[in-house]
Structure 1
Amino acid sequence: MNSEKIITAPSGYFALLLFFVLGGAAGYYFAMGHPIIGAAITLFDIIIVLSGLIIVNPNESRVLILFGNYLGTVKSGGFYWVNPFTSKKKVSLKAFNLNGQQLKVNDSVGNPIEIAAVIVWQVKETAQAVFAVENYLQYVNIQSEAAVRHLANSYPYDHIEDETASITLRGGAEEVSHMLEKELNERLGRAGIEVIEARISHLAYAPEIAQAMLQRQQASAIIAARRLIVEGAVGMVEMALAKMTEKNIVELDEERKAAMVSNLLVVLCGEKAVSPIVNTGTLYH
């Protein structure tokens, strides 16, 4: 595989000056009645001098190939003259933004999800980008899609599906982005591509299971809230009984304690405000 070789080409301004000088000389010979000499100078001026002039814009490069051999890459912006018989392939060094399409894949536990990623990349090794792959733009698109699919297959969507998972697509955004960026650099390194940033831009359950999963999430949230309410209510009841016993407010037998605990739990755990009922008798009448 060819490795990148950066070269410095001669300035094109001297060649441009030579072009005008030879053009004037050709005109002189035509005027003096020597058309053959004038034509020869004109052909040399166009084929050798003019066709060797190139302009390299900022954040662009030119890969030079002479008769199948890689000569080097001009990366510095400017006006240059190079061998006119070389093939001059333009390769952009600017950062590209790939907004991947939404893919429908299965996560690690088999749930169908929709996922898409935004990838920022640029060419670092021009020789590999030109010679290692057929079309590096198409190569980036295909390998990026494959990396996103592999990422989705490696982790569950959420902890609801796999409570033992340390990383999920939904909860581990930073870790998932880091893993995606690492895999993309491994895949695209062959083409001389460096991934600057990669992040998940879209993540959702597939439409056919989205409603069911939403209900499941809501049920899990309700259960968690109820568990917290019950734990708090039990603590408050325990504290109330302890305070009443400590300050000798009232002596309660086991049956009265059970009734009090029942009433307090109903009040503390109920979803709606309770309506108190004043008992003017005793617990036994």
Structure 2
Amino acid sequence: MEKTRNSSTAIGWLMVLIEVCLIGAFIYMGVNRQFWFLAFIPVWLVFLFGFVVLNPNESAVLTFFGAYKGTIKANGLFWVNPLMVKKKVSLRARNLDSEPIKVNDKLGNPIMIGVVLVWRVRDTFKASFEVNDFVEFVYVQTDAAIRKLATSYPYDNFDDEESEICLRSDIEEVNDVLETEITERLAIAGIEVMEARISHLAYASEIAGAMLQRQQATAVVAARRRIVEGAVGMVELALEELGQKEIVELDDERKAAMVSNLMVVLCAEKSASPVVNTGSLY
């Protein structure tokens, strides 16, 4: 578990002052030919290795002969035991823009999918000691999460089943699932996921043309269905209005002919050319 070390910059600057005083003492003893004081130079050099300078959003993980001693997260000049190993770990937010990878969706169709991930180190102990290389761990686990997501949902929903989530149209829900999946995978390394979203989504090149034709056909069928539904409503309204206002009386045969003509006019792709009947309806 991470232990934040509450170090003070005052100690760091105090040690700088002591180091400067020792340098002055070395010079003074050298001028006065009192070389016995030079025996303390190795000690001075050892204490010099105890300084740590940390910039904002930077940390130092401290270990002493293999034992974890804490993490300094404040910025400034610090001094710690010179025998401690000081490993700097950045706490800044980082971007991962993954290259699109080819994977099969839930229906077995090959697709190209890529994500953008914003992440940062939250627990320096886990990032340093729970995994071998936390940066590589982020890349590998993100790739695994992408593949799992792609195989869990179809690219598109051609059956118009609103209950079925698909990658193309339900982007918000899919991004939430992706972020949750990556967060769970990276928790072991002490990584915080700030944002995860799909940045690239397309059919693989070998089926892109065929799937485009399928999408177009589906769109045409859906459009025709709406046109027919609207035409039926208009014909029903026309017959109802004619009956209520008693404009003309039509038997079943003539109603059928009228319905047929109206459906042809309303559902035709091109504008109809009207034929004026100047004769009797009977």
TM-score by length of 1: 0.94
Whether the 8 Å contact between 1:109 and 1:162 is mirrored in structure 2 is no
Fraction of identical pairs, as percent: 55
Residue 40 of structure 2 is aligned to residue 41 of structure 1 = yes
2:76 match: 78
How many residue pairs align between the two structures? Answer: 280
Task: Give the alignment of 1:208-219 within 5 angstroms.
Answer: 208-219=206-217
1:14 match: 14
Task: Give the alignment of 1:97-246 within 5 angstroms.
Answer: 97-160=95-158, 163=161, 165-246=163-244
Deviation of the 1:81 alpha carbon: 0.6
Q: Which is further off, 142-151 or 164-173?
A: 164-173
Whether the 8 Å contact between 1:93 and 1:123 is mirrored in structure 2 is yes
Deviation of the 1:16 alpha carbon: 0.3
**What are the superposed Cα offsets for residues 154-213 of structure 1, whole Å, 9 maximum, x if unpaired?**
111111168375321112211111111111111111111111110000111111111111
TM-score by length of 2: 0.95
**What are the superposed Cα offsets for residues 206-247 of structure 1, whole Å, 9 maximum, x if unpaired?**
111111111111111111111111111112112212222222
CA distance in structure 1 between the partners assigned to 2:136 and 2:24 by the alignment: 48
Whether the 8 Å contact between 1:156 and 1:162 is mirrored in structure 2 is no
CA distance in structure 1 between the partners assigned to 2:263 and 2:163 by the alignment: 35
Q: Which is further off, 216-225 or 163-172?
A: 163-172
Whether the 8 Å contact between 1:107 and 1:154 is mirrored in structure 2 is yes
Whether the 8 Å contact between 1:22 and 1:41 is mirrored in structure 2 is no
Q: Which is further off, 114-123 or 167-176?
A: 167-176
Q: Which is further off, 232-241 or 158-167?
A: 158-167
> SS of the residue aligned with 2:161?
coil
Whether the 8 Å contact between 1:63 and 1:89 is mirrored in structure 2 is yes
Q: Which is further off, 155-164 or 61-70?
A: 155-164
> SS of the residue aligned with 2:88?
strand
1:29 match: 29
Task: Return 5+ residue gaps in structure 2 as ranges.
Answer: none
Alignment root-mean-square deviation, CA: 1.6
**What are the superposed Cα offsets for residues 1-24 of structure 1, whole Å, 9 maximum, x if unpaired?**
xx1111123421100000011111
CA distance in structure 2 between the partners assigned to 1:229 and 1:126 by the alignment: 61
Residue 94 of structure 2 is aligned to residue 96 of structure 1 = yes
Letter of the 2:127 counterpart: A
